[in-house]
């Protein structure tokens, strides 16, 4: 015979069970919704999974894909480049040409095969900064021009037919014979995307990492001459830089520097070596929210300007000769700045 106390305990147990199930369901739905929002871009046929309730989860296509800047034109251009290297098709009027790795006899496949038979230095890479082929490569791979341009080097190591490495950056390397970043100076960010051929023979991106690499000249494998401004892939270091005074990023006069973050509270540090005592101005572009700070080599604040509260996007200061200054930018996920 069931007593009143037993019945009450049973009802309470059922209520607790119902609450637990309801909370678990809410957590699952919240996770699904936030995952869907985060994955704004699909690489080709990005992985997706139906989990009921008519909600489809779009999973980021590979490990580290979210390292690519996701709030700017630069980020889109990196993703377009990766897709085109894998499965791109170039269309111009009635001319349709396959350029990606996943099409036999495509532009990339033929270029790689041709370079395997060359004994010159750096024959195992193809770069958009090759002065002989840059126009053709930019056209085929839909690389933007001007301030939104993305440069890349595709590395296909000797003896490896199933793993390639795609390095890309949106930092302006310079045109012709004049490098914007002095040779030997680190360039940041440089993204490294690993491409692998799976068991079905299909090339796919499997990981993306952010890091830096030293500025260098590009060696044309057919001539053996250093033609074009590039970066040295052998010097690439994984990591996030520009997070403090100690690993600040190089910048210079009259150089449009992109600031790319994933959070408006992130702080990005740059360094500048002055050579005169003439007044300098730091100008923030493409942002009404960014805040800029200027520090001397000892970390003392020289000047600052909050664009939001004061309405100006420029700070001016008088430097000392042959002194190092640090510039910190925060308050926006994407902007550019220049020193003049």
What does the pLDDT look like over 29-43, one tens digit per residue?
444 344 333 322 333
Q: Where in the chain is the domain with CATH 2.60.120.380?
A: 249-339
Q: In this predicted structure, what is the pLDDT of residue 329? A: 87
Mean of the pLDDT values across residues 109-138?
Answer: 78
Name residue, tokens 């001459």: 225
pLDDT confidence tier of residue 222, bands split at 50, 70 and 90: low
Q: In this predicted structure, what is the pLDDT of residue 185? A: 93
Mean of the pLDDT values across residues 47-56?
Answer: 32
Of residues 144 and 16, which shows the higher confidence score?
Answer: 144
User: Of the candidates 310, 50, 304, 86, which has an alpha carbon nearest to the alpha carbon of residue 193?
Assistant: 86
pLDDT confidence tier of residue 142, bands split at 50, 70 and 90: low
Q: In this predicted structure, what is the pLDDT of residue 97? A: 76
What does the pLDDT look like over 13-28, one tens digit per residue?
545 444 444 444 444 4
Q: Which residues neighbour 150 within 8 Å (Cβ) at sequence distance 6 or greater?
A: 74, 77, 78, 81, 128, 143, 144, 168, 169, 170
Q: In this predicted structure, what is the pLDDT of residue 24? A: 47
Q: In this predicted structure, what is the pLDDT of residue 22? A: 47
For residues 210 and 205, give the distance between their C-alpha atoms in angstroms, rounded to a whole number: 15
What does the pLDDT look like over 75-100, one tens digit per residue?
677 888 888 889 887 777 777 778 88
Kindly state the percentage of the chain with pLDDT values over 90. Answer: 21
What does the pLDDT look like over 174-194, one tens digit per residue?
876 778 889 999 999 999 999
Instruction: Kindly tell me if the per-residue pLDDT of 235 is higher than 60.
Output: yes
For residues 130 and 147, give the distance between their C-alpha atoms in angstroms, rounded to a whole number: 19
Q: In this predicted structure, what is the pLDDT of residue 279? A: 83
What does the pLDDT look like over 289-334, one tens digit per residue?
888 889 999 999 988 875 554 445 788 888 888 889 999 888 877 7
Instruction: Kindly tell me if the per-residue pLDDT of 340 is higher than 60.
Output: yes
Helices (H), the chain: 4-38, 73-87, 107-115, 134-140, 307-310
Q: In this predicted structure, what is the pLDDT of residue 51? A: 31
Mean of the pLDDT values across residues 227-253?
Answer: 90
Mean of the pLDDT values across residues 254-259?
Answer: 78
Q: In this predicted structure, what is the pLDDT of residue 30? A: 41
Specify the DSSP element, H or E, that contains 269: strand 268-273
Kindly state the percentage of the chain with pLDDT values over 70. Answer: 72
Q: What architecture does CATH give domain 249-339?
A: Sandwich (2.60)
């Amino acid at each position: 015979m069931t007593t009143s106390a037993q019945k009450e305990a049973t009802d309470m147990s059922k209520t607790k069970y119902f609450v637990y199930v309801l909370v678990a369901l809410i957590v699952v739905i919240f996770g699904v919704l936030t995952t869907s929002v985060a994955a704004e871009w699909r690489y080709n046929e990005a992985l997706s999974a139906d989990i009921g309730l008519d909600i489809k989860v779009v999973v980021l296509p590979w490990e580290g894909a979210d390292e690519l800047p996701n709030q700017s034109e630069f980020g889109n251009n990196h993703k377009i480049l990766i897709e085109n290297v894998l499965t791109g098709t170039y269309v111009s009027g009635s001319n349709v040409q396959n350029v990606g790795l996943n099409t036999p006899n495509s532009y990339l496949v033929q270029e790689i095969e041709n370079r395997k038979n060359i004994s010159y230095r750096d024959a195992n890479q193809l770069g958009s900064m090759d002065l002989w082929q840059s126009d053709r490569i930019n056209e085929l791979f839909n690389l933007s021009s001007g301030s939104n341009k993305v440069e890349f080097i595709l590395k296909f190591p000797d003896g490896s037919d199933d793993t390639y490495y795609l390095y890309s950056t949106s930092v302006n390397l310079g045109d012709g014979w004049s490098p914007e970043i002095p040779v030997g100076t680190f360039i940041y960010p440089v993204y490294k995307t690993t491409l692998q051929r799976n068991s079905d023979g299909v090339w796919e991106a499997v990981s993306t990492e952010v890091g830096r690499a030293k500025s260098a000249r590009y060696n044309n494998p057919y001539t053996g001459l250093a033609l074009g401004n590039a970066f040295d892939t052998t010097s690439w270091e994984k990591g996030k830089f520009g997070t403090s005074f100690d690993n600040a990023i190089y910048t210079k006069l009259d150089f449009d520097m992109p600031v790319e973050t994933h959070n408006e509270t992130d702080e990005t540090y740059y360094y500048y070596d002055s050579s005169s005592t003439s007044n300098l101005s730091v100008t923030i572009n493409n942002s009404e929210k960014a805040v800029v700070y200027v520090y001397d080599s000892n970390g003392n604040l020289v000047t600052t300007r909050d664009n939001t509260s004061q309405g100006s996007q420029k700070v001016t200061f008088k430097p000392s000769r042959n002194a190092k200054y640090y510039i910190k930018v925060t308050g926006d996920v994407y902007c550019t700045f220049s020193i003049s």
